[in-house]
Structure 1
Amino acid sequence: MITHYKLIKILSNSKEIATIKLHRGWSPRNYDLIVSMLPIKTRIYCKGREFAYFNLPNIYVEKTIPKISKGSVFALPSMKCIGIALKDISSIRYNACLLGIVTEGIDAINNLCPVSFIYIREDDNGQH
């Protein structure tokens, strides 16, 4: 059964800091890639104060978007990473594909920067 969205958690130092709702319909290939890789241990970095990001080996170009709202989760295929918007970005210089939204903890993600280790896992109640 194909699900429409999945809730995932971001943890730092074994503490849940954020919840993300990934939407399969927005970027199906990237959604399937991320879900197949869970759980993920990685580093999270900041690109200025605009967005935080973590690297993934294969990211696909799907439907691109010209601007990004605070709390959006998006794929950046040219950088091979997943980004989380820390503020509204009126124009982004990379091809970005919307994946989901941060439903809780956007300010906590901002506090992880400049570099932190994170653990990303499926939410226990996160499949719909």
Structure 2
Amino acid sequence: MPNCAIAGTFYLNVNGQQISARGAFDIQPLNFERSADANQDGTIYITQKPTPASAEGTLSYSSDLDLQTLYTLCDVPVTIQLVNGDTFVFSKAHVVGQPKLNTEKGEISNFKIASKACRKVNGS
């Protein structure tokens, strides 16, 4: 019987600590960006440049969550495991960006990690 679940629930671990994510996370697993443009004669050319692999989303606020410490971590493992068992591993990630705490909703938006690479491990 095929596994039909593709996404939905996922688990976020940063440096071994499970963090409660809220809503969806956007994962950019590639560490490069390709672009196309056209020459004057209509032929196209492709350029490629390196970019960090990344993931961004919203966290549930908790008094146990120390953002100051979280945002000073360097080269830490971050894993995002989807409900179907697929796991995205950012082995040496950095927490980057500027988080925003919404006190009404109790959530931290703009949580982002960046890494040199991301490895996808297929679930069973």
Structure having greater relative contact order (Cα 8 Å, sep ≥ 6): 1
Greater share of helix: 1
In the superposition, the TM-score normalised over structure 2's length comes to: 0.29
Bigger Rg, structure 1 or 2: 2
TM-score (norm 1): 0.29
